[in-house]
Amino acid sequence: MGEVVSLLDRPVYTFREVDRLLGLNQDTTRRWVDGYRRTDKHYAPIVREESTGDRWVTWGEFTEVRLLSEYRDLDHIRIQKLRIVVDHLRQEFGHRYPLAYAQPFLLPNGREILMRAQHAAELEDDLFVVVRTGQLVVTPRVERFVRAATYEVDPVRPQEGKTIAVRFQADPRYPDVTIDPEHRSGRPTIVGRSILVTTLAEMVFAGDQVEDIATWYELTPDQVQQAVDFTATHNLVA
């Protein structure tokens, strides 16, 4: 029997698929995950320790990009400063994908390490963690990320007892659409079911009524509409 690979190390998406799922500008995932070159200067990746040229994104890499996507609107943050944060956490926790674990966000000692990483990168005190009434709490951007995630012990390596993000609410605007690498190869489905949202959307686009589809699949009309809206918003149907 071969070595058991952690869920975090499992290749799930291409760069383009992650851009679509997270609503990022084209090539953003590639730059964050594998670095990029501009003129004669090479910019190291944030997520990977070094560039590999591999276009496949692992679940751990996707999880880290999911958090970084919360900061897409903050143009004043230099990419390399975020890399310092990830490198600091990687060394402190000893994990390849430190942002994919629950510890930095949910445990007090983890938040202390996150604060130190924030300071090491000379970032604002309210970017990841902030002090309130004498306690360290995560910022609203991190809170949104944590609320979207479901944390469980790594299902592939339960003996290690490490708590990681195993699935995500795909988009807060569509709460019943979920992304789970253990179901349908990580393609968006309706929560608790293995029904692809693109399947439902294509039926509506072909002329079937939302109410009829909901009856056929034992869903609510709102869930079917969420599938349609998510598919259209993220340009998932060619």
pTM over 0.85: yes
Using pLDDT thresholds of 50, 70 and 90, give the confidence band for residue 123: confident
Task: Please give the Cα distance from 39 to 41 (Å, whole number).
Answer: 6
Domain boundaries, the chain: 171-238
Quote the CA–CA distance of 76 and 83 in Å, as a whole number.
Answer: 15
Q: What is the Cα–Cα distance from 175 to 164, expressed in whole angstroms?
A: 20
Please tell me the total number of residues recorded for the chain in this structure: 238
Distance from C-alpha of 113 to C-alpha of 93, rounded to nearest angstrom: 9
- What digits encode the pLDDT tens for the residues 146-177? 999 999 998 888 887 889 999 999 998 999 99
- 171-238 folds as Arc Repressor Mutant, subunit A (1.10.10)
Q: For residues 69 and 145, what is the distance between their CA atoms, to the nearest angstrom? A: 9
Please tell me the distance from the alpha carbon of residue 185 to that of residue 177, in angstroms, as a whole number. Answer: 15
